Every structure is written in C-alpha cells, then in structure tokens.
Amino acid sequence: MAIPRAAKTQRRTRIQEAKEEQILEAALDVFSVSGFRGSTIDQIAEVAGMSKPNLLYYFRTKEAMHRALIDRVLFTWLEPLRAFDAAGNPESEIRSYIRRKLEMARDFPRESRLFANEVLQGAPHIEDELKGPLKALVDEKADVIRTWAKEGKIVKCDPYHLIFSIWSTTQHYADFDVQVRAVLGQDNSGEGRFEDAARFLEQLFIDGLRVAQP
C-alpha cells in the first residue's frame, strides 16, 4: 500500500489519521465518478475542503491516493469469497455469498464503481493483483465448486463462470444503481430492492445448481 508522506516522517497522530481518511473519502468520491485518468489532485483537494499543498503533505501523488483506495477495495471485495467454506453446505454457502455481495453493492457503491472504472481502463494499477492473489483465490474456490459437483451436491458446471455470473449480477446493483432505480420506479426502488434482488438471485443460482431428485 502507498504510504502517506506524514507516515514516513513521524508517528501518525489521530489528527493525521483523520486527515488521511478525509482525503481518501474525497478521493473515493472523485475517482468513483471520473475514474483515475479523469480525476485531478485539485478536484480531490476541493472535495476534501483543504488546500492542495496540505493534501500533498499526506499523499504526494494522485497515484498514492488511488493505490491506497484500490488496496482497501481489493481486500474488502474479496472477503466474501474468502469466507466461501468447502466444508459447508453448498446451498447455504452460495446463498450467503450472494447476500454478502449484494450487501456490499448496497453499502459500498463508490468502491464498486472505483474498481469497475479501474478494470474498464485496462486495470493498469492492479494487473499484478488480478493475475496473482485474485486468480489464486478464485482457483481455490473453483476447486471447491468442482468438488461439490463431483460429490453430487450440485450439478456439474463451470466454476469460473459461476463466480463471474455472481459477480456481475450482484455488482450490477452498485455500478448501475441509477438505471436500476429508474426502471423499478419510485414504488419499488427503495432499500427493499436489495432483498428482492437477493431472493431472485438465490432462486436463479441455487435452483439452477440443485441436483434433480430421482
């Protein structure tokens, strides 16, 4: 993770930590809307409500702020997949994973859009993470899904495309929230839309993976 300038010169005080969080919150607002290329330090400083020189004391470059946010997003975003338990019941594990991902779409929409923007631009800052730790984690969980299928607990399927499908359907509610709310209309676009989505996606994936009884 990129280290803020203040952290290099002395032990950070609570005030410094608060300032860093203030800057990262502002950077998240700006990056999630404009992407890395379309964002400037001046924009971030304005949103943070501080001078550019003051901001640069804590983070020397735009890249440092973006890197700190991306590192956080990658850790948070992968936590539900890490919790995918090989010893658990497949139906329960898949249901839990879908709901965790939807909760993240609900609670961290800016982070989701930050990640989506990075990937859409070719993932220049996280390509190593995608090919390294992310791939290793997905490979591990793909083996879990294959094992469930071999044991007859779920139907045989391509585990990678199952994971991709869960990612795309759940993150849609963060990345395309404006479209979702517009199409659902005023009566159906409240917080209940996430529970409605969870029930539908559970039906879609769990019923589709359930082994037919003879």
Long-range CB contacts (within 8 A, 24+) of 45-52: 48/22, 48/23, 49/22, 50/19, 50/22, 50/23
Domain boundary assignment for the chain: 5-65, 69-209
Give the number of residues written for the chain.
214
Rounded distance between C-alpha atoms, residue 47 and residue 180, angstroms: 27
CATH topology of domain 69-209: Tetracycline Repressor; domain 2 (1.10.357)
Q: Regarding the domain delimited by 5-65, which CATH topology (the fold level of the hierarchy) does it fall under?
A: Arc Repressor Mutant, subunit A (1.10.10)
Task: Name residues whose C-beta falls within 8 Å of residue 19's C-beta, 6 or more positions apart in sequence.
Answer: 6, 50, 58
pLDDT in tens, the chain (214 residues): 445 555 555 567 888 889 999 999 999 999 999 889 999 999 999 999 999 999 999 999 999 999 999 988 888 888 999 988 889 999 999 999 999 999 999 999 999 999 998 998 899 888 999 999 999 999 999 999 999 999 999 999 999 999 999 999 999 999 999 999 999 998 888 889 999 999 999 999 999 999 887 6
